[in-house]
Amino acid sequence: MQTGVLVGLIVLAGCDLVYGLHGRTESPSDAVGVDARVFPTMGDVQPGTCWSPTAMPLDEDSDTIADGCDNCPALANADQSDGDRDGVGDVCDPNPSYAVDEIVFFASMRTGSDLLEWTRRGGDWSFGVGLDGTECLRQTGSDPGVALALAMPAAIVGPTIEVQIRAVAPTNGTDADYSSGIRAMTGALADNPDGFGCDNFVLAGPDQLQLHRTAGGKQDEIVTASQPVGTASPYNLRLSTFPIVDGELRPPRCTSFKGTPADVSAPEPTTIELDVPVVPIEARVSMRTFALKADFRSLVIYGSRVGF
Ligand SMILES: [Ca+2]
Ligand SMILES: [Ca+2]
Ligand SMILES: [Ca+2]
């Protein structure tokens, strides 16, 4: 995707404040730190509408719908069902009952050029043939104990990040702390800015999914108990910064499930929620590894049409 197109999409994501035909009018009753908001429950995106203004002829999920016209480009959904008509298919919609979501970025990782404009914060990021025999984004850096990140150039409002990751090998041999994951960064581009991260810790015992918060350029303590998710490589990882539940904004949430996107019919989800204040967020998205080589596939970023 070209820079101008991406920036344009992001601008649209942040400025479309009047989207939606039918909204809830009641205020959240028990949310802490959440202002009264109106979230539309029905949009007006017509079936078959292409979300990308540029042609994306590949079909990542092999459901016969080309990526740029697929309302879930990384998950097979030939019927394109979209109950709230916001343009994001039911099976991948971060908020399927509220017409607030949109696809703002997708990279199949098969073309080798999808992420060339992103900023590299260490690591050896390159496109190549991964362990599954297909093209992917590979982080093969050998820096021990260093977060190796690739960050997108501009911020998105209320991002949900979804990616398929396959951990490959540790790079420091003995450290038990190997991880790969995604992050919504609310600070300036730095090695470890403020924001929320969702990592899967692997190769040192049972895989664990952890949602953590960073602040002041330093990673805080893990703010939720980790949960084992079994052997999960490859696994799909999703970080929703502000999911909407029963009409209220909820804290960030990590979800992970095993298998390829085509296996989503039988996911094994693990959901973790944080008891942290819900605040407006406009964040950059990054992918990262820590002392770990990994293959990344099928990056989807959803933005919010709701003005925070
Ligand atoms: Ca498709
Ligand atoms: Ca699809
Ligand atoms: Ca939808």
Sequence ranges of the domains in the chain: 119-304
User: What's the CATH architecture for 119-304?
Assistant: Sandwich (2.60)
CA of 200 to the centre of ligand 2 (A): 25
pLDDT digit of tens for each residue in the chain (308 aa)? 333 333 333 333 333 322 223 333 334 444 444 455 688 999 999 999 999 998 898 999 999 999 999 999 999 999 999 999 999 999 999 999 999 999 999 999 887 777 878 888 788 888 999 888 888 999 888 766 666 777 777 888 889 999 988 877 777 666 567 788 898 887 665 556 678 888 877 665 566 777 777 776 566 555 554 555 554 467 788 888 888 888 888 878 888 776 554 444 444 556 666 666 565 578 888 888 888 888 999 999 999 987 65
CA of 301 to the centre of ligand 2 (A): 14
- Of the CA atoms within 13 Å of residue 127, those in its CB half-sphere come to 14
Indicate which ligand has the atom closest to the C-alpha of 87.
Answer: 3
User: 61 vs 190, 263, 297, CA distance in Å?
Assistant: 33, 10, 11
CA of 266 to the centre of ligand 3 (A): 20
Q: What is the dihedral of CA 71, 106, 277, 274, to 10 degrees?
A: 80
Indicate which ligand has the atom closest to the C-alpha of 47.
Answer: 3
Indicate which ligand has the atom closest to the C-alpha of 103.
Answer: 3
Residue 196 and residue 292 in contact, taking contact as beta carbons nearer than 8 Å: no
Token pair 């039911």: residue: 90
CA of 267 to the centre of ligand 1 (A): 19
CA of 276 to the centre of ligand 3 (A): 26
Beta strands 125-129 and 282-290 are unpaired
CA of 284 to the centre of ligand 1 (A): 26
CA of 233 to the centre of ligand 3 (A): 28
